[in-house]
Amino acid sequence: MLAAVRCILRRDLLLAARRRSDVFTVVLFFVIVSSLFPLGVGPDPALLRMIAPGVIWVAALLASMLALHRVFAADHADGTLEQMLLGATPLGVTVAAKVAAHWLASGLPLVLIAPLLALQFDLDQKSLGTLVVSLALGTPVLSLIGAIGAALTLGLRGGGALLSLLVLPLYVPVLIIGAGAAEAAGSGLGGEAQLLLLAAFLVTAGAFAPWATAVALRISVE
């Protein structure tokens, strides 16, 4: 089973490396959306510090949604997904490996580039650290939840719009708690409670989302 997980991770990361334009599109969207707000609201440092966590989190959420439809689409198109359904490895484990590869290719770059974008908002060191940790905990949750929506809309005409409608309501709690962690740290209240909630979301989603996605995949393929 571990060998299968390593194989899936390696395969999906290699495919992502060959389609670098998809990764660059997600990162570029994140950079553009985050950079437009300082230009639009003006140079007031206090205002920029106040809106920074929400702006960066909304930009990361929207950027992560750009790559959701690609989690299973290519495998479904070339018949690989059917082979995964028939393989000896439990489908939930296969899904978990694919979601991990998806996050490494599209979510981790957002986490790494967020500190550079936060410089535009004049965030203090404590708020910046909390923001990065909240993104590191929250973006995998977005990928896990999004995988369920991607599986349910697999192969449907207009699936992208339907996918957004399905996952956005489920993203809202993660968005509120993630942005609230950095806001609490900036106000001196500390964001540990919000970070613990995000960690609990990650553990819960990691335990249940791959199996729910596996059921959705079987329904979509059949």
Task: Report pLDDT digits (tens) over 25-57.
Answer: 999 999 999 888 888 887 788 888 888 899 999
pLDDT score at 23:
84
Q: In this structure, are residues 155 and 220 in contact, taking their beta carbons and an 8 Å threshold? A: yes
Averaged pLDDT for residues 96-115: 91
Cα 32 to Cα 166: distance, rounded to the nearest angstrom: 25
Tell me what the pLDDT averaged over the chain comes to: 87
Residue ranges of the alpha helices (H) in 103-158?
Answer: 108-118, 125-152
162 in Cβ contact with 155 (< 8 Å) = no
pLDDT digits (tens, 9 = 90+) for 140-176: 999 999 999 888 888 777 667 788 888 899 999 999 9
Residues 145/209, Cβ–Cβ less than 8 Å: yes
Please state, for a pLDDT cut of 90, what percent of the chain lies above it: 36
Tell me what pLDDT residue 19 has: 83
The more confidently predicted of residues 89 and 110 is 110
Burial group, residue 19, by CB count within 10 angstroms (0-12, 13-18, 19+)? middle
What is the CB neighbour count within 10 angstroms for residue 35? 14
Judge if pTM exceeds 0.75: yes
Higher pLDDT, 122 or 61: 61
